[in-house]
Amino acid sequence: MKGLYAIVDLAHCASRGLDPVEVAAAILTARPAALQLRAKDAPARAVLCILRSLLPLCRNASVPLIANDRADLAALAGCDFVHIGQDDMPYDLVHRIAPQLKIGVSTHDREQLERALDAKPDYVAFGPVFATATKKDHAPVVGLDGLEAASAIARGRGVPLVAIGGITIERVAEVSRHADACAVIGDLVPSNLSVADLAARASAFHRAAGGEVAFGAECTNEAR
């Protein structure tokens, strides 16, 4: 896992009047490291429907599809991963009920990180690196120094680390020096950007985060 970890957030898309599947399709042209659907308040049936719409798009792009929080929906939709937070279903239980799923775990301090690494997840997320407006009551900011320390611990245990929280196009290259991938929500789809221009922005993020940009996406980005 290297480069842009793209998050399509239903609430963020709704606030922009955007179709999340169209947003995802544009992002996938950049062949990011992963695509996560984040749907904190949406009904389960609606989330499952969107995941099933995203799955063939992700398969065609060879990009892992990740469901946030809901291991049951991830399994039903055929996702590659489920991402769980500190207040979600515990890792051991997720692994027991859905052993086919790979698992990523959010962590916000060293104690949580060490505990998550003990479970040997497929990746850990750490942050917020910077303040973020896309999550209410987020944990204290860890900064680049905190991220660098966490990265050393995770790499020492052989587990990829995803940086999360407040990552912008201006900051992503610096953040990527201390992380395998960079998770982005808000600045990936800023208010002044149309879906038509999203492919180029996703490519720019993915390249700055150290990912390999697909040939077609790179040409599109250079043309703009």
Per-residue pLDDT reduced to its tens digit, 146-157: 999 999 999 999
Question: What is the rounded average pLDDT of the residues 93-101?
Answer: 96
**Residue 34, phi-psi category: left (phi > 0), alpha (psi -120 to 50), beta (remainder):** beta
Q: What is the reported pLDDT for 215?
A: 52
Q: What is the reported pLDDT for 132?
A: 85
Architecture of domain 3-223: Alpha-Beta Barrel (3.20)
* pTM, full prediction: 0.93
Q: Where are the domains of the chain?
A: 3-223
Q: Model confidence at 118, in pLDDT bands (50, 70, 90)?
A: very high
Question: What is the rounded average pLDDT of the residues 101-124?
Answer: 98
Q: What is the reported pLDDT for 192?
A: 86
Quote the percentage of the chain above a pLDDT of 90: 88
Q: What is the reported pLDDT for 219?
A: 41
Q: What is the reported pLDDT for 139?
A: 84
pLDDT at 221 over 80: no
Q: What is the reported pLDDT for 224?
A: 31
pLDDT at 217 over 70: no
For 19-33, 104-118, 134-148, 169-183, which range has the lowest pLDDT when averaged over its residues? Answer: 134-148
Q: What is the reported pLDDT for 133?
A: 76
Question: What is the rounded average pLDDT of the residues 130-140?
Answer: 79
For 21-30, 128-137, 155-164, which range has the lowest pLDDT when averaged over its residues? Answer: 128-137
Question: What is the rounded average pLDDT of the residues 8-24?
Answer: 96
Q: What is the reported pLDDT for 189?
A: 94
